[in-house]
Amino acid sequence: QQQVKQSPQSLIVQKGGISIINCAYENTAFDYFPWYQQFPGKGPALLIAIRPDVSEKKEGRFTISFNKSAKQFSLHIMDSQPGDSATYFCAVRRGTDKLIFGTGTRLQVFP
C-alpha cells in the first residue's frame, strides 16, 4: 500500500518558469513533510520541510504549500533554473518513525 503518492513522474519546465510537484498522503498522523533534492549519482539532500501547523513555508525560490484537510502538500520552484534539474522526492513521517518516500519527480529545466 502506497502511503504517499507523488506526481508528476517527470516535468519539463522552461528557464524562469514555475515548477510544481505534488504529493498526497493517507495517514493523518504524519507530522513531518520534507522534500529532498537528488542530483545524478549523489545522495538526496534535504531541501525544505514543513510541519502540519503551518500552511506554507518559503525558503528562497522554494515554497512548500500544505493543505491539511486535503492531505496534500506541494513543492513550488519559482524562477526555475537549469541548475534545479534533479530528481525531487517528497516524504512523510510520524514522530520518530522512519521516513516514507514518494516515487520521485525528475525535473528538467531548459534554457
Partner 1 sequence: DGGITQSPKYLFRKEGQNVTLSCEQNLNHDAMYWYRQDPGQGLRLIYYSQIVNDFQKGDIAEGYSVSREKKESFPLTVTSAQKNPTAFYLCASRPILAGVYNEQFFGPGTRLTVL
- Binding interface with partner 1 (CB under 8 A): 6, 9, 32, 34, 36, 41-46, 49, 51, 89, 96, 98-99, 101-104
Residue number with CB closer to partner 1 (11 or 49): 49
Instruction: Give the shortest CB-23-to-partner 1 separation in angstroms.
Output: 11
Residue number with CB closer to partner 1 (65 or 103): 103
Answer for the pair 3, 98: CB distance below 8 angstroms, yes or no: no
Q: Which is nearer to partner 1, 39 or 110 (CB)?
A: 39
Least distance CB 82 / partner 1 (angstroms):
22
- Total residues belonging to the chain: 111
Chain position carrying cell 517528497: 90
CB of 45 to partner 1, least distance (A): 7
Give the CA diameter of the chain. Answer: 41
Shortest CB 105 distance to partner 1, Å: 10
How far apart are alpha carbons 36 and 60 in whole angstroms?
15
In the structure grid, which three cell numbers stand for residue 78, read together? 519559482
Give the nearer residue to partner 1 in terms of CB position, either 6 or 63: 6
Q: What is the helix (H) or strand (E) element at residue 35, kind and residue range?
A: strand 33-38
- Cell numbers of 81, please? 533554473
